[in-house]
Chain A
Amino acid sequence: MSSDLSFNNVSKRYIVRHEVEDDLTKHPWIRKINALRKRRDEFWALRDVNFAVERGETVGIIGHNGAGKSTILKLLANITAPTSGEIVINGRLSALIEVGSGFHPELTGRENIFLNGAILGMGRREIAEKLESIAEFAGVKAFLDVPVKRFSSGMYVRLGFSIASHLDPDILLLDEVLAVGDAAFQEKCLQRIEGLRRAGTTIVFISHDLAAVERICDRVILMRRGEVAATGKPREIISLYQQQIEPSRLNTMKTAMEDDRAVIQSLAFYTPSGLRPSVFHTGDPLVARIDYVAHEEIKDAVFDVFVRTGDLTELCQLTTTTSGSPINLPVGPGTLEFHCEELGLLPGMYHANVCVKERTASEAINWQYHAATLRVDPGRIVRGQFYQSNRWKLLRSSHSATPPNGVSEAERPAGTRRPSLTPTS
């Protein structure tokens, strides 16, 4: 028996109580009494879920909101009990969660470390041994005897995470915690997780961050409406999940803006050398290629690509509207490419819509929603909202304001940080 963790026919039901509609014409006392008869609805957050995680394995759990991810997390962490079924956990399990909420503002950093460590299940001796390392990792060593109410919010969060990450469990539960702190701290966290992984810790990673899931996990479980929809290799399951998102969106968004004069057949992202990687990095060059077929001749056509986030915020547009000479499409297939020298998007998953229209027309000839997915991993930027392509040079500082000739130039692209956590499977 080598599985560290197993769910056997686990179901979880929540009772949802609805307030009875408040009738303001009634007397307040009568309304009070009516309010007691709340409607009860059942909601099955999980239904007959079965899976097992082997020792030393890193398993990701993905799915939409409400698919049952956080319920699984809560059940594993023993925060709530299942309605039926059985969960077997073999070894010491800890959830790596941000527990800054357990801090008491009046107590010092040191006192809070002891308090929080104990809450997470560490013994006093164990905490005393790790105190140094915890403070070091959080970067609050000089402030151990300061009440945490004087801490900056960053220190607060880092300390909370640092305590949790010193648990050394057999099985580690990871929530969306990697979004804690600044980039440098996140990097440290990833390193720490990688260390635990190499030491043979079984990891369950529950996240929306598909890029991180693919990077860390050996296997991925896809949840759908409280059931296990699929299990398998990260890449396969993630692409299955993406397909699952897309048709539903396509249906809801498709409008009548179509005629047959021209059809966009595909949109795809390439490197300038013609490769089609699954991931781009912020700051990478990128080529967006549109393949279309024109069934009639179209005068002064305009192509647009809109890049959106998962929650449908429009982030940027590639367009021929404002640049170049007019495009006249002859009958037949054709290809149009947008060349971007440096990708400005931050790490994340994006979707692209594409359309072709006549400049003068109000309606498009052809729209394709979610024509392509674009995955961006960390590249040339650590903080901010977008990557501003730039170069830098060092000017020797001098009192004279004009440094034109005696200047040594060191010109190179800015910030070349790459994530050092690589899949080891």
Chain B
Amino acid sequence: MALSEADLVAATIGREGPRRTKVIRPVAFSFRDLWAGLLGLSAYSDLLVVLSAHRLKVRYKQSMLGIAWAVIQPLALMIIYTLVFSVFTRIKTPGVPYPVFAYAALLPWTFFSTSLTNATNGLVSHAQLVTKVYFPREILPISYIVAALVDLLIASIVMTGLMVYYHVGLTPQVLWLVPVTLVMAAFTTSCSLIFSAMQVRVRDIGMAMPLVLQLWMFASPVVYPLRQVPERLRDYYLLNPMVGIIENFRAALLGNPLDVHSLTISIVVSVVLLPLSYLYFKRVEATVADVI
């Protein structure tokens, strides 16, 4: 008699090896559970990779320009801002031509705003999945951030082109890009976790996001340099962690001295905010399927 499907299945499955015991308890995600949450996340690292790749693939499927869109957005903004702030009105950017100056800040800013826009809807747009399967939910918003990081790399190619064209040379300062990008990723992740969790209950968050990002950009030194901010407002201005991130990203890229003061603020805020936002997210996660 031929083997049936059932026999085959029974024969191919091994029942060896240790088993992990999992205990599900009511929501009480505290600092002690932080580690458990991270362990759970690492067990799903493959999902993060697949899902991030998926974001990129989907975005460029059935689009003619494809991956070029990663470049078009910051490039178009750079051209507009160059027209406005360098041709119509003059903003002084000592030592660097305005296009290079603007593009160097639009790289991190585009990363931040794209991540946040997509990640905020990350949970809600996957309601179907969230109510059916378990996986660490933070993977949804984080996958958008990883995808945006890849976009950032692609858009950086144009940066090199611009620097060659305007004869702006790279200095060893450029190595600072790594820590600055890390701080930026940490801060973006914190914001994404908070907003995507809030969006589950209050959909106004997603509605307000474009406006908030617009204001936020002008509250950050993207189209103008930090030193043009009036001295008396500087202290309040620096409370925005994106100030330190953008200013120093540009400084590292263009070989200017870092602004240590603002960078320190960004680092402190990010380091404190990241675990807090993760805890908040995990707390919401436990009952997200009931609310979404």
Using a CB–CB distance below 8 Å, which chain A residues touch chain B? 14, 74-75, 77-93, 95, 97, 99, 101-102, 104, 106-107, 111, 114-115, 118-124, 168, 170, 188, 191-192, 194-196, 198-201, 420
**Chain A residues within 8 Å of B4, by CB:** 191, 420
Task: Judge whether A199 and B51 touch: CB under 8 Å.
Answer: no
Q: B286 on the interface (CB 8 Å rule)?
A: yes
User: A109 to chain B: closest CB distance in Å?
Assistant: 14
Q: How far is the CA of A81 from the CA of B284 in the complex (A)?
A: 10
Given A81-B286, A120-B133: A86 and B23 within 8 A (CB)? yes
User: A421 to chain B: closest CB distance in Å?
Assistant: 8
Task: Judge whether B51 and A80 touch: CB under 8 Å.
Answer: no
Using a CB–CB distance below 8 Å, which chain B residues touch chain A? 4-10, 13, 15, 19-27, 43-44, 46-47, 49-51, 54, 57-58, 61-62, 128-135, 286-290
Q: Which one, A89, A101, A191, contacts B6 given CB within 8 A?
A: A191
Q: Which one, A80, A88, A119, A199, contacts B47 given CB within 8 A?
A: A119
Task: Judge whether A114 and B50 touch: CB under 8 Å.
Answer: yes
**Chain A residues within 8 Å of B10, by CB:** 195-196, 198-199
Q: A80-B290, A97-B133, A101-B129 are known contacts; what are 12 more A-B pairs with Cβ within 8 Å?
A: A77-B133, A78-B22, A79-B133, A80-B286, A81-B26, A82-B24, A82-B25, A86-B25, A95-B132, A118-B50, A198-B9, A199-B15
Task: Judge whether A77 and B134 touch: CB under 8 Å.
Answer: yes
User: A412 to chain B: closest CB distance in Å?
Assistant: 23
Task: Judge whether B58 and A89 touch: CB under 8 Å.
Answer: no
Task: Judge whether A79 and B289 touch: CB under 8 Å.
Answer: yes
Determine the residue in chain A with the shortest Cβ distance to B5. A191
Task: Judge whether B61 and A107 touch: CB under 8 Å.
Answer: yes
Determine the residue in chain B with the shortest Cβ distance to A11. B26
Task: Judge whether B131 and A198 touch: CB under 8 Å.
Answer: no
**Chain A residues within 8 Å of B22, by CB:** 78, 88-90, 93
Task: Judge whether B19 and A90 touch: CB under 8 Å.
Answer: yes
**Chain A residues within 8 Å of B135, by CB:** 119, 121
Task: Judge whether B6 and A198 touch: CB under 8 Å.
Answer: yes
Q: Which one, B6, B57, B130, contacts A194 given CB within 8 A?
A: B6
Task: Judge whether A104 and B24 touch: CB under 8 Å.
Answer: no
Given A104-B54, A119-B133, A195-B8: A82 and B26 within 8 A (CB)? yes
Q: How far is the CA of A49 from the CA of B133 in the complex (A)?
A: 23
**Chain A residues within 8 Å of B54, by CB:** 104, 107, 111, 115
User: A23 to chain B: closest CB distance in Å?
Assistant: 24
Determine the residue in chain A with the shortest Cβ distance to B45. A123
